[in-house]
Structure formats: C-alpha cells, structure tokens
Structure 1
Amino acid sequence: MTAVVFAVLLLGAVPIALVLALTAMFYIQSSGNSVLFASYPQQLFGAIESYGLLAIPLFMLAGELMNEGGVTRRLIDLARLLVGGFRGGLAYINLVANMMMAAIIGSAASQIAIMSRAMVPAMEAEGYDRPFSAAVTAAGGLLSPILPPSMLFVLFGVMAQVPIAEMFLAGILPGLLLGVAFFLTIAVVGLVQQYPKGRWPTREEGRRALRMGLPAMAIPLIIIGGILLGLATPTESAALASLAALLLGRFLYGDLKWTMLPTVLRRTAVNAGLVIMLIAAAGVFGWVVTYERLPQLAAAWIAALTTDPFAFLLLLIGVLLLVGMIIDGIAALILVVPILLPIAQGQFGISPYQFGVVVCLTLVLGLLTPPVGAGLFIASSMTGTPPLRIFRALLPFLVASLATLVLLAWQPWLTTAFIGR
C-alpha cells in the first residue's frame, strides 16, 4: 500500500520532497508503530546535518555571481581564442566554454539556461541551424555533473559517506573523456552538414581575450587546484570561488553592481532551499527503505540475474535511464543510492567512486530525454525551438554519452586514476 501511495503522489505532480516525506509518514501510520513518529524530526534534520552540503549554496552563488558579473562572456571569448578557427568553430567554442563553466557551476540545468542565452543566438547568426545550436549547448550541460564541482557528487558523497573531494577527483577523467566524445561528434556532424569554418581572432582580439579571460579562469583553478593540492575542502573552495566571482565581476569587469546582490542572494537562497528540503525529506524516506530491508530484497533479485560487475553496471545503466526519464536527477539519486550502493559494494565489489560517476552521468541523461527532460525544455524555452527538434539533433551526443558510460562501466580505473586507490 505504501508503494501505491508513493506512485499516486509522484504521478500526481506533487513536489518530490513532499512525495518522500508524506510516503514516510503514511508508512509509519499504516505500520501501527507510532513510536517511529518520535524519530521522524530527528531523521529529517539529521539528513542535512553535514558540513559538505554547505558547498551546494556556495557553488550556486558562485554561478550566479559569474553570470551577473560578466565572467561567462569572458570565458566564451577565451574559448574562441582556443578553438574558434576550426570548421564548426562556434560549436567547439560552445563546448569548451561549457567545460570551463562546468568547473564552476556544478548544475546542468543552470548551465544549460546560462549558455543557451549566450551561445545559441551567436551560432544562429553565423549560419548554424537553431536545433543543432541548442543541442550542442544542452549536451555541454552534461559535463556539469561530471567535471568538478558537481552538485550531484556533493549529494552522493554525503549519502555514500565518501570524501567529496575524492568524488570530484573521480569525475575529472570521465568528464574529459565525455568532452572528447562530444568534440568528435561535432567534427563528424560538422563535416556531414558542412558547417562554416570559424575565424581565428586577430592578434589584438587575442590579446584582449587573454587579458580579460585569464582572470576568469582563476575561478575554476581555485576550485580544482585547491582540492587537488589539498589546500581547501570543496566547501572552502566554493566560498573562495564565490568571493573571486564577486571581486572580478565588481572591480575588474565592472558588470556586477551592488544593487544586483539582493536579487542574486535571494535567487541562490530559494534554489538552495529547494535542494536542501529535498535532501531532508529523502533522509526520512531512506530510513523507511532501510527499515523495510529493501536493499537486501533488491540484492537477492539482482543476484538471480547476474554475478558479473560489468553486467550489473550495464543493467543499472538501463534501469536508471528509464528512471531518469521520469524523475529529476537529484530526486532519483536520493532514491536509488540507499538501495543500490550496498549491493554494488557488498555483492559485486564495485568502487563507490565508479558507482557514483556511472549513476550520476546516467541520471543526468534524463535531463535531455522525453517525457520529462527538464534540460530539454529549458533549452527549448530559451531558444524558442520545439523540444523534439532539439532531441533529434541531440541523438548523436546521446549516443556518444552512452558509449562513454559503457567504457566507464567496463574500466574502473578511469574513475579512480586520480584517487590512487
């Protein structure tokens, strides 16, 4: 009966945080064990009692300050200097700028919204069709949950009780592999469609792009460098990145006005509050899942299907692709990790880092696939292009993403190369 209530609430478009909290309350009530209600508030607040979760609002704040402060535009100019002269140059610029932004924002949906406004009109003006322009931008958003910092990695690290800094390190090589796969996809599509050759910047334009773009690169260097060198925790790196974005936007570029700060802070607080509320509700739901021994039941079912770790991960990818199509990535992560991580580690000996990277990338593909496809609809609303036309243009990128996922499931060292274990 509890499963029925969960399904009805979920299909009834009730916010996922309320779905989880209300389902847990219904379970306690129907079980007749009302003593569990006394532990309900403790489980609710205990789920968010983690220092690592403070990184989420701070990374959101860094992204907001970057966008308002003109840092995004300078990063795009710097990307033009690196790859602008190739055939399909603006598509490469879009992708490189997305990789730079991924090292700052950590949220695929936010990145797709920001980059759609910045890149799609420019690509269309140079002769690219709008669906392809929107597809490249949306595909670039897939890098955000993989390249550090990643909001999904922060959540996974807290839930799996693994160091968030090590989760960030686990995402570096997979993120670069995905970027290379997208570069090859753009090269093939550019040749087939005969997209225009780009233009290399003049010497003066190059000097200006370097002069204004290199300070902007300080933000991802602060985040990644601080973590790699052990100088700062992810939360401290997020705070330093926010400060750097504020100083650059206000004093170097001059685009950020003090009057903008209340709006930026309010938007950050609202978005972070939604995520934290979801995590709190998931803590209670995970408690119910554990109490009902669902991980053990799922383990017994999976054991009857396969004993091979690679086959298990392929099965997991297939299931999570379906889950990601109908449930938001954060919510899906919160639902599946308590059930499947113990199975992956205990029964198949899979590293939590490999499991986390595969799960996060698989779930975020749901952003770009119907019927829910939040990222698809964000790109559509920002560009005025029908979602299905963007989806058709996205198919080569989705195939490249799936190929990368299979490679990550097959070769565990790709996720542990920078961790040393």
Structure 2
Amino acid sequence: MRPQRYSAVAILLHWALALLLLFQLGLGWALEDLPRSTLFAAFQFHKSVGILILVLSLARLGVRLAVQRPAALDASPAARALAGAVHLLLYGVMIVGPISGWILVSTARVKLPTLLFGLIPLPHLPVGMAMHAPAEVIHGLVGWLLAGLFVLHVAGALRHHLLRDDVIGRMMPQAVARRPALTVAAIAALAACAAAFFAGSASYRRAGATPQPPAAAAPAPEALPAAAPAAPAAAPTASPSALPSPNATTAAVRRWRVLPGGTLGFRTDYSGEAINGRFTRWTADIRFSPEDLPNSRIGVDIDLASVATGDAERDDTLRGDDFFGVAGHPHARFTATRIRKQGSGYVADGALTLAGLTRPVPVRFTLVIDGDRARAAGTATVRRLAFGVGKGQWSDAATIADPVAVSFRFDASAR
C-alpha cells in the first residue's frame, strides 16, 4: 500500500529547498547591481547557499528514490507527462545550477578561495579552462529556467487545490493537511516563498555602501603591470591638520606641485604569484628643501577606490570590507613627521593611517632637483596585517604575504 502523504523528511527538504532556491534566485539576480563594498561578501554567500542547495537536493533525490511516496493522481496522459517533466527539470536545476557555479569558480581567471559560510573551505574542481564559457551560459540559463519551473509547479498545485484534490496537503505537516487550515497554510507558504525571494534580492543592499565619488584633483599615474588575485593595504583619511600650515615653513623650504604622469603602486605575493597594482587618484602636499630638513614636510592622500590591478572583480574585492573598506575609510593618509639624510637619498619617518589605525612607516626616497624641477622615486614596506587589511580567509600570510611593497615616482615643479 502506498502512503497517503510524503514522509516528514521529504516535507522538510521540500520546503527548505523552496525557500533556499527563491532566496538564491533573488540574490543571484541582484548581484550585478550591488554596491562594490558588499559585492565580494555577496558572491561568497551566494556560493555558500548554492553548495547547501546542492547537498540538500542530493539528499531530497535520495529520499525520493529510497522512500515510497504517494501514488500519482488520476489525470490525462498529457497532464501527467507535464507534471513529470517539471519535477525532473526541477531536480536538474537544483543540481546543475550549483555545479555550473562551482565550475565557474574553479575556472575563473582570478581563483578566489571559497569558505562556505566563512567556515568550510571549498576546493576547486579539477576541470579545464575550456569549461568556463559553457558553465557561464548554463548558469545564466538556470536562473530563468528555475523561475519558469517554479511558476508551473505552483500553478499546478493551486489548480489541484481549487479542484479540491488537496495535493498540497500531502506535502504539508499533518496538523494543517486538511481544509480550511490547508488553505491558510498554502497562502502562508506562498507568502514565505515571496519573502525569501525579496530577502535575497535585498540582503546586501546596505545603506551607505555605495562607492565614494572620485577625488577632486590628483595626478594620473602611469599603468603598472596587471597581475593575479587580490592583495595589499591602505585606508582612511587622517585629519588635514596633520600637515603643517604654510606659516610653519621657512624661506628655505619650497613648496612642490606633483606633475601628471607619476605612479603610486604596490606589489605583494598571492599563493606564490606576484601581484602588481596601482592607485590612479592621489594627491601630495610637499614642502621640502635639502638645506632645511627639520622644516620639510610631506603629506600624501590616496583615494582607495581608485585601485587598479587589471581585473575588475579583484578591484571590487580590494574595495570591500575585507580589505580597504572604502565605504567607511575611503582614503589612506601618509604624513612624514621627520625627514633625514641617508646615504645618497633620504628617509621620511612618518605615520600611515589605515583602516582606522595609525602605524609608523618609514619611506626611503631619492631626489634630483634641477632648478624649479625635481624628480623623486622611493619605496616603503607596509605590513598589512598590522592594519587589519585582509580579514577572515585573507588573513593567512601563507596565502597573501603580509609585507606589501609600495613604490612611487613622479616629477614636481616648485610653486
């Protein structure tokens, strides 16, 4: 004798998957419109929910094959064929969707590690790069197919309910499996599904998380070579009062204007590969004279949203809360408190303000002055972990090196 209702496990998995699938659909369709500061976290959560759906779908398929289910209702051959096709395609979507997404992650040009719900590392699948384009097409189609199948599935269930077949009752808890409670339960289930979809689409649209507008003025540095994944350091704005006022300079100290064409870049290692990047918007306030180092001062302000590494996804990751957190700390600030001669060059002993923290950072540079023109080049090393840059899965120095090499070069003219 076939049972009259589905098993408790089947009912639980059915409704859990319904809510997760609609949440995932809403989140997936919203990803392209999310603010940059939340995009990386949203993608990570999207991947986590996808793998959870895959696991639960395989469990649901196992229960369907192992546990006897109610007999199919009497219906025309066409109606039974349509119902069977919808159920088969739903299983396909629930399994193929997450797997195609997993292939996308595994074959991406920038291979970002995935921690499921921030806890469980997800390995990459051993598939070739040739699978990336087909997986991308399939993954995009799955979303539309899921939406269509959901509408057909709900329409079929409601049709049976209106015909008083009470098919829905077989997939409801015993307490609400009969009318009129069943009608209320069906309405509540539809409302929960709609809420799950809208929760997914709105989950990462945080107020105030939009990118900051570009800085009003700054030199446009030359391009440095692009590289692999993510990395480095930088952050918030120090108070402008940290720079000396013009009255503090002496007659010997000259004020210099940075000319367009300079570069401000960084370099570190990600999983053994070199990463190069640059900032395209930055300003410098320089008061300097080799004859009056005690009264010389240097201040640099960097617009962190201008980070450029040659890959848009990586740049968005760097702007996010795990790295620069441009929503809360849009600028990095270096202020030299003392400049001293060292060999053929100079050292600017200063402080870097980054992610709400200020740490001493010495900057070594060379300078050639020819009348009213000067050429400067220099380097510094920033320990990103001292500033909390690279949180969670990115805090492992074995994955992304702690020291970040910063380099710059520019021409300047005396004002």
Task: Return the TM-score normalized by structure 1.
Answer: 0.20
Q: Which protein is richer in strand relative to its size?
A: 2
Q: Which has the higher helix share?
A: 1
Higher relative contact order (CA 8 A, sep 6+): 1
Q: Which has the larger radius of gyration?
A: 2
